[in-house]
Amino acid sequence: MAERDILLKILDLARWAPSGDNTQPWRFEIVAGDHIAVHGHDTREWCIYDFDGHASHMAHGALLETLRIAATAHGLDAVWARRPGTPDTAPVFDVKLTDAPALRADPLLPFVETRSVQRRPLQTTPLSAAQRAALQGAAGPGYSVELFESFAQRRRIAGLLWDNARIRLTCPEAYRVHKEVIEWNARFSEDRIPDQAVGVDPLTARLMRWVMQSWERVDFFNRYLFGTVAPRIQLDFLPAILCAAHLLVRAERAPVSLEDYVHAGVAMQRVWLTAESLDLRLQPEMTPLIFRWYGVHRAAVSRSAGVNEAIAGVAAAVDAILDARDTGVFLCRVGAGARASARSVRQPVSALLAS
Ligand SMILES: Cc1cc2nc3c(=O)[nH]c(=O)nc-3n(C[C@H](O)[C@H](O)[C@H](O)COP(=O)(O)O)c2cc1C
pLDDT tens for each residue of 69-116: 999 999 999 999 999 999 999 999 999 999 999 999 999 999 999 999
* Position 278 pLDDT exceeds 70: yes
Q: At what angle do helices 287-297 and 151-170 cross, to 10 degrees?
A: 60
- Which residue has its alpha carbon closest to ligand 1 atom 27? 116
**% pLDDT > 70, the chain:** 99
**Which ligand 1 atom is the nearest neighbour of the CA of 116?**
26
Statement to judge: residues 109 and 163 lie in one domain: no
Alpha carbons 98 and 68: distance in angstroms, whole number: 11
| Weakest-pLDDT range from 16-30, 196-210, 315-329 | 196-210
Decide if 97 is inside a domain. Answer: yes
Task: Evaluate if residue 20 carries a pLDDT over 70.
Answer: yes
Residue 231 pLDDT: 83
Q: State in Å: Cα 23 to ligand 1 middle.
A: 10
Is residue 124 assigned to a domain? no
How high is the pLDDT of residue 351?
97
Statement to judge: residues 10 and 36 lie in one domain:
yes
Q: Are 268 and 229 in contact (CB under 8 A)?
A: no
> Each residue of 300-350: pLDDT tens digit?
999 999 999 999 999 999 999 999 899 999 999 999 999 999 999 999 999
Whether residue 63 sits in one domain with residue 168: no
Q: In CATH, what number is assigned to the domain containing residue 248? A: 3.40.109
| Bridge partners of residue 79, in order along the sequence | 96
Give yes or no: residues 110 and 133 share one domain: no
Domains in the chain, number:
2
22: CA distance to ligand 1 center in Å? 7
Do the domain assignments include residue 120? Answer: no
Q: 137-142 long-range contacts, Cβ below 8 Å, gap at least 24?
A: 138/270, 138/271, 138/273, 138/274, 138/275, 139/249, 139/267, 139/268, 139/270, 139/271, 140/266, 140/267, 140/270, 142/251, 142/252, 142/253, 142/263, 142/267
In this prediction, residue 225 has a pLDDT band, given cuts at 50, 70 and 90, of confident
Query: Closest Cα to residue 115, out of 335, 264, 281, 330?
Result: 281
**What is the 98 CA–ligand 1 centroid distance (Å)?**
31
Looking at ligand 1, which atom is closest to the CA of residue 58?
1
Mean pLDDT computed over 103-131: 98
156 and 280 housed in the same domain: yes
Note whether residue 122 is domain-resident: no
Of the residues 114, 144, 170, the one at which a domain ends: 114
286, 333, 345: which to mutate for ligand 1, most atoms within 8 A of CB?
286
Atom 23, ligand 1: residue with shortest CA distance? 344
Asked, for residue 353, whether it belongs to a domain, the answer is no
Return the HEC string of 167-189.
HHHHCHHHHHHHHHHEECCCCEE
Residue where one domain finishes, among candidates 114, 144, 165: 114
pLDDT exceeds 70 at position 237: yes
Which residues, in sequence order, are CB contacts of 219 under 8 Å at separation 6+? 172
Q: Is 80 exceeded by the pLDDT of residue 1?
A: no
Q: Residue 270: which domain range?
A: 129-344
Nearest atom in ligand 1 to the alpha carbon of residue 197 is 26
Per-residue confidence (pLDDT) for residue 355, from 0 to 100: 67
Average pLDDT over residues 131-136: 98
Same domain assignment for residues 185 and 265:
yes
The bridge status of strand 188-189 relative to strand 343-344 is parallel
CA of 34 to the centre of ligand 1 (A): 31
Tell me the C-alpha distance between 77 and 48, whole Å: 36
CATH number at residue 104: 3.40.109.10
Domain contains 220: yes
Q: Which residues are registered as beta bridge partners of 194?
A: 183
What is the mean pLDDT of the segment spanning 208-222? Answer: 88
Percent of residues, the chain, with pLDDT higher than 90: 88
Residues 101 and 188 in one domain: no
- Which atom of ligand 1 approaches the CA of 345 most closely? 27
Asked whether residue 228 carries a pLDDT value surpassing 90, the answer given is no
Locate the ligand 1 atom nearest the alpha carbon of residue 19 and give its number.
31
**Extended beta strands in 285-325, E state:** none
pLDDT at residue 78 in the model:
98
- Please indicate, yes or no, whether residues 179 and 328 belong to a single structural domain of this protein: yes
Element (H, E) at 137: none
Lowest mean pLDDT among 13-27, 168-182, 276-290: 168-182
- Average pLDDT on 29-38 reads 97
Q: Identify the domain boundary among 114, 148, 173.
A: 114
Asked if residue 294 and residue 212 are part of one domain, the reply reads yes
What pTM was estimated for this model as a whole? 0.97
> Which long-range contacts (C-beta less than 8 Å, at least 24 apart) are formed by 100-103?
100/75, 100/76, 101/75, 103/72, 103/75, 103/76, 103/77
Q: Which of 115, 117, 178, 271 gets mutated to test ligand 1 (max ligand atoms within 8 A of its CB)? A: 117
Q: Using CA positions, which residue lies closest to atom 25 of ligand 1?
A: 116
Pocket of ligand 1 (CB under 6 A): 18-22, 55, 58-59, 62, 116-117, 119, 193, 283-287, 343-344
Q: Do 87 and 167 reside in the same domain of the chain?
A: no
315 and 176 together in one domain = yes
Q: Does residue 275 lie within any of the structural domains?
A: yes
Residue 233 has a pLDDT of 87
Do the domain assignments include residue 107?
A: yes
If you average pLDDT over residues 207-213, what whole number do you get?
A: 89
Q: What is the mean pLDDT of residues 238-261?
A: 97
Specify the DSSP element, H or E, that contains 143.
strand 143-148
Domain shared by 163 and 101, yes or no: no
Q: For residue 132, how far is its CA from the centre of ligand 1 (angstroms)?
A: 22
